[in-house]
């Protein structure tokens, strides 16, 4: 099956009792048993498994080309579950530009866990390899990153992690499997904030892990079952419904993204534009190699360099909504330093290039003329 068919049919079958084409929202916690320990069907208790969640998990495995998908109550719950594979003394090497909540999880929640986190520029493969030792158990990469659109070369990193027998996980939230398939490029695990493009309608908080190896997927399912960060049936239904139009939406996000980038690149008030589709973007070559297109996420800074200009601009947008999050059908604008990345200490943030005049746009699927007119009036 090709990808555009998989998003609709991958892992799916009609409901056996009624023939319903979409799985019903099985809003149930438990399932009848015929005799103690002998459930009537395949299910016992919804923390372990629920048919609506199962349908979503099978769809997730299908679209990412993995052996098993797991759906969580949020993206961070998915990442937290993955970290439970490791024990005190184990070391994790992470890219130095991460989603703020992931950074907070690694550096604050797991501070006293005995796990050791290293943060490194994953494009400096020598610096990365210098950190590897016998305790290294996981490499964690986000590509493209949020909000500066840095990339990491998934295939090049996978070659190294394979050699050292280290697990390699990729946060594929920004790219989605429509644009990039980390498991095909050699990664072991894909993580998603399904809150973003997979759900696609800004109506649900959800997360996912897709695992290439069946045994590791089963181990992670046990951890998910034992800790309980599962996704509810209604939310599972919403994400599954979202996935069915993923290919259409992301295609339009990309088209609109290109046009917004062209507009910003030619605008006198704009200084830098961060978008992997730009030929002078430092990671354009990697983007072309591992992504089908360049997505709908765009960041930019102001010529004035003034944070006040970014704030004034964000107070003026009308079609774009000033809000956290991304990846929904509606266009959103965000001030990383004061919003999504406020949890990162100021010195770390500034050193990483997240300046006060940086604005991040999640370009939606509205009519491009309305989006450009909105940006223009906000600049004025
Ligand atoms: C939003 C986001 C997360 C966290 O996901 P939640 O669903 O908010 O828990 C992780 N990584 C990236 C890249 C994100 O954008």
The domain that holds 130 is classified in CATH as: 3.40.640.10
The mean per-residue pLDDT over the stretch 100-123 comes to 95
Instruction: State the angle between helix axes of 246-265 and 368-379 in degrees (0 to 180), rounded to the nearest 10.
Output: 40
Residue closest to 94 by CA, chosen among 106, 84, 79, 81? 106
Residues 217 and 296 in one domain: no
| 226 and 265 part of one domain | no
In this prediction, residue 100 carries a pLDDT of 86
Average pLDDT, the chain: 96
Give the mean pLDDT of 63-68. Answer: 98
Calpha distance 339→307 (Å, rounded):
13
Structural contact between residues 94 and 140, judged by C-beta atoms closer than 8 angstroms? yes
Q: What pLDDT, on the 0 to 100 scale, is given for residue 170? A: 98
Residue list, ligand 1 pocket, CB within 6 Å: 74-76, 99, 101-102, 142, 146, 171, 173-174, 193, 195-196, 205, 207
Instruction: Give yes or no: 47 in active site.
Output: yes
Per-residue pLDDT at 63 exceeds 90: yes
327 and 204 both lie in a single domain = no
pLDDT in tens, 157-199: 999 999 999 999 999 999 999 999 999 999 999 999 999 999 9
Whether the per-residue pLDDT at 92 is higher than 90: the answer is: yes
Phi, psi of 271 (to 5 degrees): -95, -85
Report the atom number in ligand 1 closest to the C-alpha of 194.
7
pLDDT for 64: 98
Specify the pairing of strand 189-193 against strand 136-142.
unpaired
Q: Is 68 a residue whose pLDDT tops 80?
A: yes
Quickly state the pLDDT bin for 82 (edges 50, 70, 90).
Answer: very high
* Numbers of helices and strands, H then E, in the chain: 14, 14
Q: Does the annotation count 99 as an active-site position?
A: yes
Active site residue 280: no
Taking only the tens place, the pLDDT of each residue in 259-301 is: 999 999 999 999 999 999 999 999 999 999 999 999 999 999 9
CATH number at residue 318: 3.90.1150.10
Of 31, 99, 237, 275, catalytic: 99
Q: Are 226 and 250 part of one and the same domain?
A: no
pLDDT of 291 reads 98
Q: How far is the CA of 49 from the centre of ligand 1 (A)?
A: 23
Residue closest to 379 by CA, chosen among 250, 271, 294: 271
Q: Answer yes or no: is pLDDT of 344 > 80.
A: no
Share of the chain above pLDDT 90, in %: 93
Q: Is 235 a catalytic residue?
A: no
Instruction: Choose one of 149, 171, 193 to mutate for the ligand 1 pocket test, by most ligand atoms within 8 angstroms of C-beta.
Output: 193
Are 122 and 9 in the same domain? yes
For residue 184, how far is the Cα from the chain centroid? Answer: 17
Q: Work out the average pLDDT over 71-94.
A: 98
Q: Closest Cα to residue 318, out of 378, 246, 274? A: 378
Taking the C-alpha atoms of residue 47 and residue 157, their distance in angstroms, rounded to an integer, is 35
* Domain end marker among 207, 222, 243: 243
- What pLDDT sits at residue 343? 75
Same domain, 330 and 267: yes
226 and 252, same domain (yes or no): no
Q: Answer for the pair 25, 211: CB distance below 8 angstroms, yes or no.
A: no
Element (H, E) at 286: helix 284-290
* Domain end (from 243, 269, 300): 243
Q: Is the pLDDT of residue 139 over 90?
A: yes
The residue-averaged pLDDT of 102-124 equals: 95
Q: Are 39 and 111 within one domain?
A: yes
Number of domains in the chain: 2
255 neighbors 296 (Cβ within 8 angstroms):
no
Mean pLDDT over 325-348 rounds to 90
- Tokens, residue 39: 């459930």
- Residues 143, 20 share a domain: yes
Distance of alpha carbon 328 from alpha carbon 372, whole angstroms = 18
Do 169 and 286 share a domain, yes or no? no
Listed residues 243, 273, 308: the one ending a domain: 243
- What is the residue range of 363's domain? 246-379
Query: Is residue 96's pLDDT more than 80?
Result: yes
Is the predicted pLDDT of residue 90 greater than 80, yes or no?
yes
**Cβ-contact 104, 343 below 8 angstroms:** yes
Are residues 223 and 265 located together in one domain of the fold?
A: no
pLDDT digits (tens, 9 = 90+) for 218-251: 999 999 999 999 999 999 999 999 999 999 999 9
50 and 149 fall within a common domain: yes
Find, among 166, 261, 201, 217, the residue nearest to 64 by Cα. 217
What is the chain's percent helix, strand, coil content, to nearest 5?
Answer: 35, 15, 45
């Amino acid at each position: 099956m090709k990808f555009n068919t998989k998003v609709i049919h991958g892992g799916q079958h009609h409901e056996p009792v009624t023939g319903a084409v979409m799985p019903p929202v099985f809003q149930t916690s438990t399932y009848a048993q015929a005799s103690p320990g002998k459930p009537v069907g395949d299910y016992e208790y919804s923390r372990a498994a629920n048919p609506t969640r199962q349908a979503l998990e099978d769809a997730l495995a299908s679209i990412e080309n993995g052996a098993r998908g797991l759906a969580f109550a949020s993206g961070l719950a998915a990442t937290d579950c993955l970290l439970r594979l490791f024990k005190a003394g184990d070391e994790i090497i992470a890219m130095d530009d991460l989603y703020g909540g992931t950074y907070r999880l690694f550096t604050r929640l797991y501070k006293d866990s005995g796990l050791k986190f290293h943060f490194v520029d994953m494009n400096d493969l020598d610096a990365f390899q210098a950190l590897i030792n016998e305790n290294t158990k996981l490499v964690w990469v986000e590509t493209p990153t949020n909000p500066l659109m840095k990339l990491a070369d998934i295939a090049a990193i996978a070659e190294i992690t394979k050699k050292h027998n280290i697990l390699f996980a990729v946060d594929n939230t920004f790219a989605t499997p429509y644009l990039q398939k980390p498991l095909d490029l050699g990664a072991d695990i894909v993580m998603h904030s399904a809150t973003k493009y997979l759900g696609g309608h800004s109506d649900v908080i959800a997360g996912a892990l897709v695992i290439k190896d069946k045994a590791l997927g089963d181990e992670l399912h046990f951890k998910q079952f034992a800790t309980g960060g599962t996704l509810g049936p209604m939310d599972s239904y919403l994400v599954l419904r979202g996935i069915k139009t993923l290919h259409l939406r992301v295609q339009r996000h990309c088209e609109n993204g290109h046009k917004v980038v062209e507009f910003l690149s030619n605008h006198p008030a704009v200084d830098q534009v961060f978008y992997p589709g730009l030929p002078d973007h430092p990671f354009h070559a990697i983007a072309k190699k591992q992504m089908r297109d360049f997505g709908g996420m765009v960041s930019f800074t102001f010529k004035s360099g003034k944070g006040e200009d970014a704030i004034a601009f964000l107070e003026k947008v009308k079609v774009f909504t000033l809000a956290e999050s991304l990846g929904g059908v509606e266009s959103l604008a965000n001030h990383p330093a004061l919003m999504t990345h406020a949890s990162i200490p100021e010195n770390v943030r500034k050193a990483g290039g997240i300046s006060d005049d940086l604005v991040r746009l999640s370009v939606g699927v509205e009519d491009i003329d309305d989006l450009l007119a909105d940006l223009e009036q906000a600049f004025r």
